[in-house]
Amino acid sequence: MIIINNSASRNLFGSLHIPISVCGYERLSCHHIALIVRSGSCRILGDLSRKIITSQIETESDPHALAPWGPETSFIATGSGETHILDAGEGDVILLVHGSSGSIADWQEGGLVDRLAESYRVVAFDSYGFGLSKRNDSFEYGHPLWTQQALDVLDALEIERVVVVGHSAGAGVAIALAAYFPERVRGVVLTGHGFTADPAQMMPMLPGIGEFWAARRSVIGDTFSESYRERAEAVHRIRGTRAAYLAFIRSQALLLASAEGRQIAATIYEAIDVPVLQLHGAADQSQDIESARALSSRIADTRFVTIEGSDHHVHIDAPDRWIEEVTKFVANLQP
């Protein structure tokens, strides 16, 4: 159970300072959130906020208008939809999968892609709903969709096997690829991975309130360099971006509260038979480090590394250490 209190809400409503008790809960679990998501409460507030988002905030309909994001980026057609990708370097392939509300810009921060591309072919993609990839009201945003997208990207590029590197929600995609499609995966690097709900996402999960919360923000998630913020703000002007984020975190709440979710949590790590490196920030506030360590211990061939002085974005907080660990791990993998 995830427990959250007023102080953990991080003033999610900005200057309004609405405490979590506004919804009648001082202690919220994924089960509570699932019940609220299913109930359709706060519908009027949600409808009003959605109208504001679509008419005044998300005014861009064509992601192509915001490209390019560098000479290595392009749009490709895949079996599930148009995807914005980055493809750089030569050699063994590393596939980079960003977290929720992120994009390939996460991997461009601090020259990460350029440094990896000195020795490897590096492929990254914007998950559906984020970055410059396709938005579609019919998409069920979450790990199954993004796992299929990853496979479709590899097929479109005629790539057979990769080392998959995932951050946060992207680490969930990496886990799924390794567990269910082991023939496509040589090894896995997890960054900021866990199987718990991020406390900062609990309020946006609430129907109506989440839409109001999203409408008040020019960007959902952390930003880093000025160029990153500019791209993130542009992305959040694309229609469907906020809806994709809210749909994902709500589907996660429903999954974690379901029998299917409990079954996945109980078996997926034991199904992985490729080497796994897990890099976790000692100060990660999104995914508890001890819970992450416990998950890592269930994988047969795994190494857990704590990065001191780092929060949830280890690859951005400590890029030199992250590059060192990743390149060492990949170099030691069997062909």
Higher pLDDT pick, 196 / 296 = 296
Higher pLDDT pick, 92 / 253 = 92
Mean pLDDT of 177-184: 97
Mean pLDDT, all residues of the chain: 85
Residue extents of the structural domains in the chain = 6-331
Matching residue, tokens 């979450």 = 142
Confidence of residue 54 (pLDDT cuts 50, 70, 90): low
Higher pLDDT pick, 28 / 206 = 206
Higher pLDDT pick, 198 / 107 = 107
| Among the four given CATH numbers 3.40.50.1820, 3.20.20.70, 3.40.50.620, 1.20.1440.130, the one describing domain 6-331 | 3.40.50.1820
* pLDDT given at position 334: 83
* pLDDT given at position 200: 72
For residue 322, the SS3 value is: helix
Residue 212 tokens read as: 């109001």
Whole-angstrom Cα distance, residue 225 to residue 284? 20
The model's pLDDT over 128-143, given as tens digits with 9 standing for 90+, comes to 999 999 999 899 999 9
Strand partners for 162: 185
Ranges 133-137, 213-217, 326-330: which has the least confidence: 213-217
* pLDDT given at position 228: 95
Indicate whether 25 pLDDT > 50.
Answer: no
DSSP 60: B
- The answer to whether 118 and 98 are in contact (CB under 8 A) is no
Residues 167-192 as b/e (b if ≥16 CB within 10 A, e otherwise) read bbbbbbbbbbbbbeeeebbbbbbbbb
DSSP 161: -
* pLDDT given at position 216: 86
Indicate whether 77 pLDDT > 90.
Answer: yes
Mean pLDDT of 5-11: 28
Confidence of residue 261 (pLDDT cuts 50, 70, 90): confident
Whole-angstrom Cα distance, residue 135 to residue 63? 10
Query: Per residue, what are the HEC states of 190-254?
Result: EECCCCCCCHHHCCCCCCCHHHHHHHCCCCCCCCCCHHHHHHHHHHCCECCHHHHHHHHHHHHHH
For 25, 150, 190, 274, 320, the CA distances from 262, given in Å and listed in that order, are: 24, 24, 21, 23, 36
For residue 172, the SS3 value is: helix
The model's pLDDT over 262-285, given as tens digits with 9 standing for 90+, comes to 888 889 999 999 999 999 999 998
The model's pLDDT over 189-198, given as tens digits with 9 standing for 90+, comes to 999 998 776 6
* pLDDT given at position 7: 29
